[in-house]
Amino acid sequence: MIRRQHSKELKFKVALDAIRGDLTIAQIVLIYKVSESLVH
């Protein structure tokens, strides 16, 4: 399995969406194509 390295900008966008609470974790995972553990 290849680990993807995410940019700081992507992590920042994911974190902002998670903090805002407008989207569920599942929605964030689908939008940004990241693992659920990155969102928590």
Global pTM exceeds 0.75: yes
Span 17-35, average pLDDT: 95
**How far is it, in rounded angstroms, from Cα 19 to Cα 31?**
16
pLDDT of 1 strictly over 90: no
Q: Which two tokens stand for residue 26?
A: 């599942």
- Percent of the chain scoring above 70 in pLDDT: 98
Span 3-32, average pLDDT: 94
